[in-house]
Structure 1
Amino acid sequence: MPARPDYPTFIAGHAEVIERINAGDAGLPTLDILLRVAQEALGAVGMLFAEYGTSGGRIVAATGAAEWALGRPIETESPIAMRMLTGLPTQVLTLDRLEGKFPHQATGRGLHTMLATRLSLRGMVIGSLHAFYPSVDDLPTIEHHTLIEFVGTNLAHMYGHQAGLPVHGDGPVVAALTDGLAIIDFDRKVRLWNPAAEQVTGLSQADVLNATLPFPIPVLDQTLDHRLADGRWLKITASELTGTVDSIVVTFRDISDQHRREGDRDLFVALTSHELRTPVTVIKGYADTLNSHWDELPEYERRHAADVIGQRAGELARLVDRLLSSADEAGPAASSPPAPFDLVEALRLAERDLPTALRRRLLVRLPVDLPKAVGDRSTVTTILTELVTNADKYSGDGSSIELTAQSDERTVVFRVSDRGIGVRPEHVERAFDRFWQAESGDRRRYPGAGLGLYLVRRVIERQNGWVSLRPRDGGGTVAEVRLPRG
């Protein structure tokens, strides 16, 4: 590690970041540039940024020797997360002295010292920024501390503008983490308006004090769901303020996610009927043709009809499995506990189960000496089918889809790579949301229920693995699955 950060390099790179932000181009592409600039200036071998939410977090950007961790989920009770959430804002950690999966995997890849800083916005922790060094003798100086804190401040500023951030649906909630609270008199005039109320409604104290409460009040000791003008939903309760005779305390919180889930159920029914209708119609049409015109049809047409019925029945079976798994909020259950298995053998067997058209496009390059992975072998067919199907959907007929695999000290990885339309950096996490597709118009060009990647992530993470997407150099997309090494 250099004795001092490389300030000229940082200033030059930071100017580019500021220009992009001023031009309105933030989100993951700018976040990635900022990490690369910081890595070089700090003399680190890798950088990553972990985005936190109310139920955990995820590594949404990584560079250099930390790129392997992209897409990895973060548990808030993990040793590193606990240190970042409750300890000093900026810390130097020796990874081989920490318990947990991530420190174990990082030290196995030659990363030993970590300089990390916590990011906060409006009093809430939104993420943490980490720089990695290969030696325990690499002790960052006070100038390194100051620089990474400055980079963290820039990141928090980007989140404050919410331009392409947060990255994933479970990301930081800029609304309140606690209920909004107002105290009103019997004329409905607001006498108290707490900070959480400002965050939930977007209305400041100056906007509402001594004014009429800006939403209806339920019957005392009951609740009311109310939709705001911006489309968000509040759950509102009201009760008398103890110790007073003329005041009411009103509490409210944002329940838009709950209403969104109800909308998801409606969308699920609509998409299910749409997706099932096509294969069922084809199967019925060919079956009716065979039944009504068997004697009139030549042998090759009968065989063709039977082939189509078989292919469509297979598609229908896979679609039903996908829809039923998605409808189960508990997630697709693994049929057996994680155990060591031969990933190459499992992938080759899964390849044989692919439809003929997909097998012809798939270029398989698997090593013969890959270490065993730890997971549920029975899910490999589902995972590979979904990833290859997704690659096929978004790439031209003439291009190949590649299946490769390798390992490192702690994980075994396989990748499905295509030369299709590619994935935009700001979509690499949203692609795993249920029912999500890149553009509303894509459903016509690229039909589908938007469930495949959602299910892949749930299946893999139940096996202590993780999955990520990234743009491929030269065009296309790389889907990467990592499982613990046996």
Structure 2
Amino acid sequence: MVDARRPVDAAAVFGGLAEIAEQLATGAGGLHALQRTVDVTVEATAAAGAAFIEYGQDSGRVVAATAALDWSLGRPVDLIHPTLRGLLQYGSRVREIPVSLLGTVGGEHLRGRGLARFVAAEVNAGKTAVGVLVGGYHDAEGTAGPDERAALGFLAGLVGLQYTLGRGLPIHVDAPSVDPVAEPFALLDAEHVVRTWNPAAALLTARSPESAIGEPWPFPLPTGAETVEHQMACGTWIEIRAATVPGGTDISVSFRSRADQTSDGRDLFIALTGHELRTPITVIRGYADTLVEHWDSLDDGSRREAIYVVGQRARELSRLVDRLLNAVGDDGTPGDASALLPFDLVDTLTAALDDLSPEQRRTLTVALPQTLPKALGERATLATILAEFVTNAGKYSLNWVEAVLTAGADAQTVWFRVADRGIGIRPEHVERAFERFWQLETGDQRTRGGVGLGLYLVRRIVERQHGWVSLRPRQGGGTVAEVRLPRADADAHGEA
């Protein structure tokens, strides 16, 4: 697929910029203005698609996307991979990146959709790097001209201004940003002699650049995509990754202190889960006692109703226990791809409908295709994910408005969505909803149950399977929840 070199629509570009300026001038902004900036990026650079990747706690995540990159919304991006670290640290602010260089960090998904190259500009709010604005192109032989580079640089500056104003940005307000340039980094020559040693590396290792540069690399050096853990003489454990710099023989090395495994929010976790466990247990015990003590005085209809309520609450309790076990037993890291198995998504979703309550099934319209390519993942987890989506659709709706379950596939992924007509979700909440313990309603205003773990666990479960999940407002009102999993028959070159 080759890009048609279409002329830039100046009216669309300036109209979009005027809309963004008006939002910022009136005190608005947030994700809506960020998304509008990404939309304008396509028009201003003649790109096939555009996206903004926000730096997060451990990597990055696509928080706004459009056109040929709209499928990537919610996808995690390994921004501290040595390949990208080298590209982000060296060269001009606006960088051109062939997709062929990104094989280890998602290049197969991009090639599978016909994208061949990217132009990227890092976004800074003051002196803090907050993310990367990218435009994608289909033509492998093309190159970014001065107009495209200038437009992308200007729009990256506009995004930086939005982050400086801080109106709903960053999206992940509770996560410290990872600045790839501020992470420990070294550049080695082909003989593994240190050529570059940044200040963060000096701080972590207590080795100054003067004492490190020109000396052999002092730690184990991993090969391929592996991560090596090493304990330094001071006792600190570090994680090391390395990759050959594209187009040369130098080796880019990223390393950092091993993540602390201690849990946070333990008191809040205990308080919330204790309350949520107590509710179904109290109901089950109450109805069970009633049946035992008054069986003979109850008519057949009353007995059936009591047994039905016990069964319904027992299913709720079972789902809650599953969530708690997942919360304490899953570290959230992607699993071994070789352990994932192909499965039929349509059959799996159809079977998962049986786990929903009668009320949920009555308000869910199922519009699944007859067949789809097989997905690669963990079949047993789909029932949990679907139940969470449908539960949220009802929880944040008036009188359980109708939701629709659909599914489909593209060259690289198999996906399913639950779209509802509930109260909807504001753009600034679409990522916060995946945070642990976060609730749409909090404090004394909270009227709906839940521990705030559902979507948090859904994201961990899906990303463990090398997929991703996203929320977005539905046009006309309501919310769309979407999961994408790898397609089982897509090969390493991105072809199905």
TM-score tier, shorter chain, comes to 0.7 to 0.9
Give the % identical residues: 47
How far does residue 443 in structure 1 lie from its aligned partner after superposition?
6.1
Paired letter, 2:463? E
Is 1:20 matched up with 2:13? no
Cα 1:398–1:279 shift into 2, 3 Å: closer
Q: What is the rounded CA distance, in whole Å, between the counterparts of 1:164 and 1:284 in structure 2?
A: 45
Displacement after TM superposition at 1:126 (Å): 1.6
Do structure 1's residue 153 and structure 2's residue 157 form an aligned pair?
yes
Tell me what 1:320 maps to. Answer: 321
Match in the other structure for 1:130:
134
SS in 2 for 1:295: helix
Q: Give the number of equivalent residue pairs.
A: 408
Q: Can you give the 5+ residue segments of structure 1 that lack an aligned partner in the other structure?
A: 179-195, 197-257
Q: Is the 2:58–2:178 Cα contact (8 Å) retained in structure 1?
A: no
Cα shift readout 1:270-310 (whole Å, capped 9, x = no counterpart): 11121112111111111111111111111221121111111
Structure 1 equivalent of residue 44 of structure 2: 41
> 1:318: how far off?
1.0
Distance in structure 1 (CA, Å) of the matches to 2:157 and 2:340: 41
RMSD: 2.9
Structure exhibiting the larger radius of gyration computed from Cα positions: 1
Moved more, 459-468 or 95-104: 95-104
In 2, are the aligned partners of 1:423 and 1:476 still within 8 Å (CA)?
Answer: yes
Matches of 2:362 and 2:335, distance apart in 1: 29
Aligned to 2:34: 31
CA distance in 1, matches of 2:71, 2:334: 27
Conservation of the 8 A alpha-carbon contact between 1:386 and 1:453: yes
* 2:110 counterpart residue number: 106
Matches within 5 A, 1:214-363: 262=264, 264-328=265-329, 330-331=331-332, 337-363=339-365
1:394 equivalent in structure 2:
396
TM-score, structure 1 normalization: 0.78
**Counterparts of 1:169-248 in structure 2 under 5 Å?**
169-170=174-175, 172=177
Which one-letter code corresponds to 1:305 in the other structure? A
Letter in 2 for 1:148: L
- The question of whether the paired residues in 2 share the 8 Å contact of 1:332 and 1:459 is answered with no
Q: Deviations over 1:103-161 (max 9, x none)?
A: 21122112223211112334443211111222224432111101100110111121122
User: In the alignment, is the contact (CA less than 8 A) between 2:334 and 2:466 conserved in 1?
Assistant: no
Give SS of 1:100's match.
Answer: helix
Distance 1:87 1:414 in 2: 40
Change (3 A) 1:316 1:98: closer
Within 1, Cα distance between the matches of 2:335 and 2:85? 29
**Amino acid paired to 1:116:** A
Q: Is the 8 A contact 2:55 2:178 kept in 1?
A: no
Determine which of 433, 449, 452 is the counterpart of 2:451.
449
Displacement of 1:61 = 0.4
**1:5 and 1:143 in contact (8 A); partners too:** no
* CA pair 173-161 structure 1, distance change in 2 beyond 3 A: farther
Gaps spanning 5+ residues in structure 2: where? 184-199, 201-259, 489-496
Cα deviation per residue 1:392-426 (whole Å; 9 max; x = unaligned)?
Answer: 11123352211111000001111111110111111
**Residues 1:139 and 2:143 are matched in the alignment:** yes
In the alignment, the residues of structure 2 paired with residue 76 and residue 33 of structure 1 have an alpha-carbon distance, to the nearest angstrom, of 24
Take 2:332 and 2:477, find their aligned partners in 1: how far apart are those partners? 33
CA deviations on 1:51-108 (whole Å, 9 max, x unpaired) are 1135111000001111100000011244763354223221222324541352211221
Q: CA deviation at 1:429?
A: 0.4
Question: Residue 380 of structure 2 is aligned with which of 372, 378, 381?
Answer: 378
Aligned partner of residue 476 in structure 2, secondary structure: coil
